[in-house]
Amino acid sequence: MLSVEKNKILARRLFEEYWNKHNSNIPAEFYTDDFTLTDPYVPMTGKGFELGKNYFDFFMRAFPDLSFTIEDQVAEGDLVVTRLFATGTHEGEILGMPATHTKTTLPVIVFHRFEDGKISNAFVYWDVFAFFRAAGAFKTAGFKMPAFAMR
């Protein structure tokens, strides 16, 4: 099997076997020792396996029923891009917002870079605007949503 296909399988397994099953026992072998993660909205420090686990725990505290549905996955060279939807109920503080107990679904794109069959870097883009809109943040702040932004 080509390494590109193996990388896609590993990225898919991360969502299906760990995130979707709320299993924080992600094997250290998923990540390189110097694994880094970039999420523009969730600043995390550290490297390697612990960074991946801390990121997982951060979201599970806020969305204990969080699950992902993979829509598309493409790969080229050492890069795997996964487009998915995250669904969860906001039960804990996140990004300064207290729990709203609102169930929401929002789009996510994850770029995983691989090195020797392990994830060396992840760049995660959550549609945070969609989350805040679903949680009612703009209503409470007096923000009027433009018509084109409503679904």
Q: Which residue has the tokens 């969502």?
A: 15
pLDDT tens string 10-50: 999 999 999 999 988 888 888 999 999 999 888 887 888 88
Question: Cα angle vertex 88, ends 12, 145, to 5°?
Answer: 115
pLDDT number for residue 149: 46
Assign residue 76 a region (left: φ > 0; alpha: ψ between -120 and 50; beta: otherwise): beta
What kind of fold does domain 3-134 have according to CATH?
Answer: Nuclear Transport Factor 2; Chain: A, (3.10.450)
- The structure tokens listed for 96 are 């300064």
- Indicate the range of 74-88, 90-104, 136-150 predicted with least confidence: 136-150
Whether 151 has a pLDDT exceeding 70, the answer reads no
E strand map for 27-142? 31-38, 67-76, 79-89, 103-115, 118-126
Say which DSSP state 102 is in: -
- The structure tokens listed for 87 are 């669904």
Residue type, 39: D
pLDDT number for residue 25: 84
* Cα distance between residue 59 and residue 72, in whole Å: 22
Ordered by start, the domain boundaries in the chain are: 3-134
Task: Give start and end residues of each alpha helix (H) in 36-80.
Answer: 48-62
pLDDT number for residue 23: 87
Among 64, 151, 47, 150, smallest CA distance to 103 is for 64
Q: What is the mean pLDDT of residues 99-123?
A: 94
Q: Which residues pair with 69 in a beta bridge?
A: 85
pLDDT number for residue 10: 94
